[in-house]
Amino acid sequence: MNDIQRHDILGYAVAACSLDQACTWCIQHAEQNVNPQLVVTLNPEIVVQARADSDLEQTIQAASLIVADGVGMLWAARQLAEPLPERVTGVDLMLRLLEVAPHLRVFLLGGKPGVAERAAEVARQRYGSTIVGHQHGYFDKQSPDDVDDVIANIASSKPQLLFAGLGEGQEVFLNSYQDDLGVPVLMGVGGSLDVLSGEVYRAPAWTRQLGIEWAWRVGLDPARWHRIPRLLAFMRLVQQAKSAL
């Protein structure tokens, strides 16, 4: 779906698409076995991080599809007079693809040892997914030998979709090795494999409906409180961009 309209949000070409449209785009590119297409689920944190990380900035700019992950991006789009139809989170897009395209070959990468394996089993049982491989994310990303082993494992499985839950830096990792991986569609999914495996539970449905899932998680988990300054920095970036219009 190359006809998806893009809106300029803080210098990024964010797709003005629904979850279903993003899903169709991924399926079409996966089925066509095209050159690697990186999907970035952009949220306020990543935007702020990219301002100080040139590798991340270049990765986002090089992405084939950027979707708005979270209400913060929708708010920014409205402030900048570039409204988006809805948020497309990494976990929702991953689950929808598993649900509607069980024929596609999928590789799951990330999480603690055992998480990707359990997620693979859940995907097979719940959606009938074609999981061709899985690998935990606790390998040394600075070790050429470790990285080569992981890449060889994925490439030999010949997946059409690669979901990588590697935390911060996952998009840069995928972008750096996408040619070696040879996967048509690659996407960083953060902690989505933990959710799929049952390791952690999603926030209640009402928080997702109100668009405050992030606030619910941050409020209950002190380990996430360090993210608040990034959210405030994001709001400042949006206000500065709005003033420049």
Q: Is the pTM of this model over 0.75?
A: yes
Cβ count within 10 A of residue 236? 10
pLDDT at residue 1, rounded to an integer: 45
Which residues is 130 bridged to in the sheet? 105
Which residues is 134 bridged to in the sheet? 108
pLDDT band for 65, please (50, 70, 90 cuts): very high
Residue 39 in this model has a pLDDT that exceeds 70: yes
pLDDT at residue 208, rounded to an integer: 52
pLDDT in tens, 3-23: 799 999 999 999 999 999 999
3-state secondary structure 170-199: HHHHHHHHHHHHCCCEEEECCCHHHHHHCC
pLDDT at residue 22, rounded to an integer: 98
Q: Could you tell me which residues come within 8 angstroms of residue 79 by beta carbon, excluding any fewer than 6 positions away?
A: 238, 239, 241, 242
pLDDT at residue 114, rounded to an integer: 97
Q: Evaluate the CA torsion angle 216, 48, 68, 134 in order and state its sign.
A: negative
pLDDT band for 218, please (50, 70, 90 cuts): low
Residue 169 in this model has a pLDDT that exceeds 80: yes
pLDDT in tens, 69-90: 988 999 999 999 999 999 999 9
Helix or strand run (H / E) with residue 118: helix 115-127
Query: How many Cα atoms occupy the beta-carbon half-sphere of 140 within 13 Å?
Result: 5
pLDDT in tens, 90-130: 999 999 999 999 999 999 999 999 999 999 999 999 999 99
Residue 222 in this model has a pLDDT that exceeds 60: no
